[in-house]
């Protein structure tokens, strides 16, 4: 398991794509650069297995990486196969899908 600094060194910009720490799809051009994953919406703030249970706040709100992984796993198990917006099905990424956009707006209280 790597610290954010080690991740940044191991995954420099231009060497990707790199796997999102949340949904594990290859959506990131670099690591630890606050990129938002187009598939699951996780913002890569450098959190990874080493500290997955911690809540860092910021754009990921009150979710730990573990929470976000669980949410994505539930989505993957329940509806992803039928969701044309998912990258898995050749779409733009579930994060941009109308359904998750609505949920995001409802959940955005800040
Ligand atoms: Zn992701």
How far is ligand 1, taken at its centre, from the CA of residue 18, in Å? 10
**pLDDT tens sequence across 12-54:** 988 889 999 999 999 999 999 999 999 999 999 999 999 999 9
How far is ligand 1, taken at its centre, from the CA of residue 110, in Å? 22
* Residue 110 pLDDT exceeds 50: no
How far is ligand 1, taken at its centre, from the CA of residue 67, in Å? 13
Q: What is the pTM of this model?
A: 0.85
- Domain edges within the chain: 4-99
Nearest of 72, 97, 71, 69 to residue 83 by alpha carbon: 97
How far is ligand 1, taken at its centre, from the CA of residue 109, in Å? 22
Residue 95: exposure state from Cβ atoms within 10 A (0-12, 13-18, ≥19): buried
Residue 7 sits at the vertex; the CA angle it makes with 41 and 76, to the nearest 5 degrees, is 30
**pLDDT tens sequence across 65-85:** 999 999 999 999 999 999 999
């Amino acid at each position: 398991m790597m610290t954010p600094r080690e991740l940044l060194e191991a995954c420099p910009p231009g060497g990707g794509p790199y796997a999102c720490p949340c949904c594990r799809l290859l959506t990131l051009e670099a690591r630890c650069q606050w990129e938002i994953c187009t598939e699951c919406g996780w913002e890569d703030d450098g959190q990874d297995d080493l500290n997955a249970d911690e809540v860092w706040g910021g754009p990921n709100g009150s979710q730990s990486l573990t929470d976000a992984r669980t949410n994505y796993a539930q989505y993957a198990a329940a509806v992803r196969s039928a969701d044309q917006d998912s990258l898995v099905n050749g779409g733009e990424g579930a994060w941009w899908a109308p359904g998750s956009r609505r949920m995001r707006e409802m959940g955005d209280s800040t």
